[in-house]
Chain A
Amino acid sequence: MKNNDINKELRDLAPGLEKLKGENPFHAPADYFEALPESISHRIHSTTLSKKGAFGFITLPRLAVITTAVLLFAFMGYFFYQRMPSEPYLTEAEQELFDNHLAWYSNYQTDAYYDIIMDFENDSEMTEMVFDEDEVLEYILSYTEYYFDVPPDASDELW
């Protein structure tokens, strides 16, 4: 009944194909189907075995790689930590030299700012003057604000 329906459908649809139906131009090797169940059983057996051995062949190397990587990082971290200086970088004499140099540089910078701001022609003129520190500080601040921080206001007088 099923075949009849299919054949009728084919006859209506593509009558040329109906004549060719039923022939199988392919064939399998002799005794293939007799041996196939056993081949499948072998494959099932080997697949099951390799699955059981998966821990030995797949997971174990992964575990080894991960452990090695962790140990390597641990050693690297340890040696890096060991190389970090536990004592100060500078000796006492070097520290003193550094402090002196810093003090000298600080003074030098202050003098230089006075020179720039006051525009003195010579040092003798400056030494004769007495500075009010607050006045100087206020002057410096206003100078700084004008040029660096505060946007110029149109209403401000330039100088």
Chain B
Amino acid sequence: MEHYSDEQLLELFHNSDNPNYAFNLLIKKYQEKVYWHVRRLVIDHEDTNDIVQDVFVKAWKGLDRFRAESGLFTWLYRIATNEALTFLKNKKRRFFLPWQDVENTLIQKMESDVYFNGDEIQKKLQKAILSLPEKQRIVFNMRYYDELKYEEISQILDTSEGALKASYHHAAKKVEDYVKNH
């Protein structure tokens, strides 16, 4: 599956008799990356599962209009990021929560999550990441875990590379301080 390039997948999707097959290949290629990106933002597996499915449903609906100006991967990441942020925003709005409380809710979820098996230091690291402002958290995750280039993050988040570098540097310092001092 992995050997299909994005161009080949798009070609297959647009020009074959069976676009479902092409889309299935696309899901298999990107599902894990999208899943982990969303999971690190919303923490809970069930929420992540919902969001990931929505991401691919949106991708299915939008793939006809997708022009390969940005990469398929960048496009999917952008949808995933927007969906995750919308989910968190709705959560805040629905329960009238300030960001601090959303952060606490996410920490509680992580601590009671059966799909979390990190040791104390990993727990501390995750708490530190969750204490970051939303945007810094996204940038930090994309660079630290997904190992994306600033150029790619810039395309996904539509932010200048300079601003992203500054965000990542601040975030990394804060996370390190938190891990050292808590």
Contacts and interface: CB of A to CB of B under 8 A. Distances in A.
Contacts of A110: none
A68 interface: no
Interface string A101-120: 00000000000000000000
A14 B24 contact: no
Contact of A20 (B125, B149, B169): B125
Given A23-B118, A25-B126, A14 B172 contact: yes
Contacts of B144: 10, 17, 21
A154 interface: no
For this complex, into which size category does the number of interface residues on chain B fall?
35 or more
B147 A33 contact: no
Given A40-B56, A43-B57, A26 B116 contact: yes
Interface string B139-182: 00001110101000000000000000000010011011001100
Contacts of B54: 43
Interface in B1-41: 20, 24, 27-28, 31-32, 35-36, 39-40
Contacts of B116: 25-27
A29 B53 contact: no
Interface of A is mostly: helix
Nearest to B121: A20
Interface string B51-62: 011101100100
A44 B173 contact: no
A39 interface: yes
Interface of A: 2-3, 6, 10, 13-17, 20-21, 23-29, 32-33, 36-37, 39-41, 43-44, 47
20 contacts: A16-B180, A20-B125, A21-B144, A23-B118, A25-B116, A25-B117, A26-B36, A26-B39, A26-B43, A26-B113, A28-B39, A33-B32, A36-B31, A37-B27, A39-B49, A39-B53, A40-B53, A43-B53, A43-B54, A44-B56
Cβ-closest 3 pairs across A and B = A25-B118, A14-B176, A25-B122
